[in-house]
Structure 1
Amino acid sequence: MKNINQQYILKNGKEITIRNGAVTDAEKLRKTVKKYIGESEYIPQLPEEYTLTIEEQENWIKSFIEKENSIMLIAEYHNDIIGNIDINGSVRKAMQHTGGIGMGMLQEWTNSGLGTALMTCAVEWAKQNKILEILWLQVYTDNIGGVSLYKKMGFQESGLIKNYFKQDGKYFDNMTMSLSVK
């Protein structure tokens, strides 16, 4: 159930592969994440704050491989990592049926259908997982594309924190959205 290796043809006509993340992806993934953090206005982290070493990145990937209620998926185009999504299942007994989603992609791949492909793979995996019942994520309310994608996938608004993010003196609201997968 955990092995995923699927091809998708995106709106831009390019064929990509979505597969399980592996420890050997650590260095390439680290570079991709650092790049998309710098490109995105909707990730509440600065590139200089992303300081994982290769070993820490390897351990982070390993944590998704080892937990039954978690998965990390990598999107590749010609062996380059262009995006990723993860479901981080809670280790706490009372919340192990829940998994938080994190997703990112390189700017040049936005609006190509990559987000839909990543989200589809992750949600389908979660629906087959014996432990997970609820997926949740957080999104800037200003991120119209993200909110639209999550609604299209069936996520519903669960809560709102006003002025949660502050960047360059401007405040942004944080919306939590959730999806039942059982």
Structure 2
Amino acid sequence: MKFRALLALAGAALLAGCGLNSVPTAEENAKAKWADVQAAYQRRADTIPALVNTVKGAAASEGKILTDVVEARAKATSVQITANDLTDPNKVAAFQAAQNQFGGSIGRLIASVEAYPQLQSQATFKTLMDQVEGSNNRITIAVRDYNTAVQAYNTRIRTFPDAIGAKIFYGAKPIVPFQAQAGAEKMPDVSFGNSN
């Protein structure tokens, strides 16, 4: 009887060291962090257009850029990705591309505001710029936290002893980290004068 009890204890210890609990915990953490990324993007998508509508009247000459922001927002919110899609690089890339287009539209809006100092004096533009900055900071933090969780999960499913449980019990696949768009490392051109 003692031998069986010791054998059962040894078996439980071996299984506990094989990722039975740690692999799904790490995977769920990465999925939760992905939800935070989506929430940050959704907050930006919800907040910025409302502010854009507020400043539209004061920026009739910049209507094209504002329209681009609204259209890019619509596209950014139409591309959805679920936690189950995180192992599909194409779906993650499509989501990132839509978000990058929205971010580029916002960047053009800010550049036009800087080019016309009389628009900067309006409180609505300052509020818009503050919200854009705050939204982008939230996104940066959410993406960083997501990538940290993905790294922890991907490391866990590839290292001993958790790799055993990850492979045998869960068929675990690496999760795709969020990546910056190509060329993001370059400093953007900012001009305060006329481009003529």
Structure with more contact order per residue of length (Cα contacts < 8 Å, sep ≥ 6): 2
- Per the TM superposition, whether the score is higher than 0.5 is no
* Structure with the higher strand share, 1 or 2: 1
* Structure with the higher helix share, 1 or 2: 2
TM-score (norm 1): 0.33
TM-score (norm 2): 0.31
Larger radius of gyration: 2
